[in-house]
Amino acid sequence: MNLAYWLERAGRSHPDWPATACGARVVRSYGALAGRVARLAGALRGTFGLQTGDRVAIVAKNSPEYLEMLYAVWHAGLAAVPANAKLHGAELGYILEHSDARVCFASAPLDAKIAPHAPKSLERLIVVGSRDFETLFAADPVDVTARGADDLAWLFYTSGTTGRPKGAMLTHRNLIQLSHAYLAEVDPTQPGDPILHAAPMSHGSGLYIMPHVMRLGANVIAESGGFEPQEIFDVVRHWPRLSMFAAPTMVKRLVESPADCIAENFRTIVWGGAPMYFEDAVRALERFGPRLVQIYGQGESPMTITTLSRQDIAARDHPRWRERLLSAGRPFACLEVKVTDAQGRALPAEETGEILCRGDVVMPGYWNNPQATAASLKDGWLHTGDIGAFDADGYLTLKDRSKDLIISGGSNIYPREVEEVLLRHPAVREVSVIGRPDREWGEVVVAYVVGEAAAKDLDALCLSAIARFKRPKDYVFIEALPKNNYGKILKTELRALDAKKGAGS
């Protein structure tokens, strides 16, 4: 089963329906989109000579062309490697090399950021919207290449504790299951319903392209391609019954915006990527009404582990409403979820342990990383590394992240990756990076440093090697890091010290 069949079907049955839009302007109908995808797929197979299963990277800002590239890759029987456009050129170079991508589509000026780090395995770097890009659509169209349900469709790169990103292999089966789960339990979608991609299409928001294509929905992008509340509300005015996926910080900005909004035009606002403060969720409910849904997932089980429904979020009269609003909801029907102890034994309600899940939405493993696959997938269960507990009613509450993941503004940041960069400075003897709770961003990155380096020099070092959003917002210089008897740095003590520092103690 190839996901591209959904677009081909839509192009045949409803060729005049809106498929992509920019602001209030329809860019492509389903017939036009399907035709361009078939021709671009022809160029990938014929002009470029790509073979079934080859990888094609997409390093691009949100745009209507994103769907053309993504679906052309699938149409041609290839695998997509969407990458975060905010990453540093060196980080993107690693993803291109590790995935062995032969072709990369990049938005301008991201191509200039990639070029110095492009591996030898990359044969072509094509700028989206350029003359070379548009020339590809003159190729002869080809039929959809048949693919098996377990064939690779999307390499979802997620940061790892070793400082190197891992490529979660998402198959056509995984993405089909995700799409059905979305439509059944998150956001029932009618033909013609629009979705606004305000979060990156390379990650969470992009994973919701498929269910909307399945249901003949319109994929809408703001004119700026980014996220500004006034612009979002303008788009909502033009597109009734609009849904969008957003990180909690984005929802908070929408709530706090003084701009006028027709809340009734929102069909659904899905939040995920991090928990939301109770007060912020209440304020969002007050402004937008019963249109909010929460999801909890990982790249390895994309957007699909648990969900907190709009009914639960809006049920103020329920005796456990507050507890449920603070939870991540109930498991999706398409997979099993359990909380276990260190030996993998299932724990009863109210006891805290690691969250495990299994089902057809869970990845089969990491690309070219059998060691990481073996560590994460055991006896068919995905070990999420997240810590949580079920209540007696089956609602899961997240307690902590055992891998020390920092989530800032919905973006995942792993301390080890930042630490490795900071340790390159000759005046840094030791460093430990933690997340500091922050009302606006959820968490911000803080580096505790032993050494004589200047904060401005460390900042410059980070900006030269990793994405801007990963760099520390604060550098705290101390004489020694807290350690146990084995010399392991105790991040728990650092967090306690940081909390006291913030409280002014």
Question: 201: which DSSP letter?
Answer: T
Map out the domains of the chain as residue ranges.
Answer: 4-390, 406-502
3-state per-residue secondary structure call for 437-455: EECCCEEEEEEEEEECCCH
Q: Where does residue 229 fall: left (phi above 0), alpha (psi -120 to 50 degrees), or beta otherwise?
A: alpha
Q: Which residue has the tokens 């580096």?
A: 447
Residue 236 pLDDT: 96
Residue 226 pLDDT: 80
Residue 136 pLDDT: 98
Query: 4-390 with 406-502: one CATH topology?
Result: no
CB of 363 closer than 8 Å to CB of 406? no
Q: CA geometry: angle at 492 spanning 490 and 494, to 5°? A: 75
Residue 161 pLDDT: 40
- Tokens matching residue 199: 């979060």
CB of 155 closer than 8 Å to CB of 168? yes
Residues 66, 68: Cα–Cα separation, whole Å: 5
The CATH superfamily assigned to 4-390 is ANL, N-terminal domain (3.40.50.12780)
Which value, to the nearest 10 degrees, does the dihedral of the CA atoms of residues 459, 471, 126, 73 take?
A: 170
Q: In the beta sheet, which residues pair with residue 396?
A: 390
DSSP string, 346-369: BPPTT--EEEEEEETTS-S-BTT-
In sequence order, which residues have a C-beta less than 8 Å from that of residue 185 and are 6 or more positions away?
307, 309, 332, 333
Residue 103 pLDDT: 98
Beta strand 377-378 with 381-390 is antiparallel
Which value, to the nearest 10 degrees, does the dihedral of the CA atoms of residues 484, 487, 491, 492 take?
A: -10
Q: CA geometry: angle at 178 spanning 176 and 180, to 5°? A: 70
Q: In what helix (H) or strand (E) does residue 492 lie, and over which residues does it extend? A: helix 491-502
Instruction: Using alpha carbons, list the distances in angstroms from residue 385 to 143, 300, 404.
Output: 42, 11, 9
Task: Report mean pLDDT in 10-residue bins for the chain, 505 residues.
Answer: 97 98 97 98 98 98 97 98 93 97 97 96 97 98 98 87 80 98 98 96 95 98 90 96 93 93 97 83 96 96 97 97 95 97 93 95 97 95 93 90 77 82 92 92 95 96 93 95 70 89 66
Residues 425, 282: Cα–Cα separation, whole Å: 45
Residues 159, 413: Cα–Cα separation, whole Å: 7
Residue 162 pLDDT: 45
Which value, to the nearest 10 degrees, does the dihedral of the CA atoms of residues 441, 447, 448, 449 take?
A: -160
110: number of Cβ within 10 Å: 23
Q: In the beta sheet, which residues pair with residue 60?
A: none
DSSP string, 206-272: GGGHHHHHHTT-EEEE-TTSS--HHHHHHHHHHSSSEEEEE-HHHHHHHHH--S---GGGEEEEEE-
The 10 Å CB-count burial string (b at 16+, else e) for 256-289 is eeeeebeeebbbbbbbbbbbbeeebbbbbbebbe
In sequence order, which residues have a C-beta less than 8 Å from that of residue 259 and are 6 or more positions away?
229, 230, 233
The fold of the 406-502 domain, in CATH, is: GMP Synthetase; Chain A, domain 3 (3.30.300)
CB of 413 closer than 8 Å to CB of 470? yes
Q: Is the peptide bond before 109 cis (omega within 30 degrees of 0)?
A: yes
SS percent in the chain: helix, strand, coil, step 5: 35, 30, 35
- Tokens matching residue 335: 């997979």
CA proximity to 186, closest of 289, 319, 305: 305
Number of C-alpha atoms within 13 angstroms, CB side, residue 176? Answer: 17
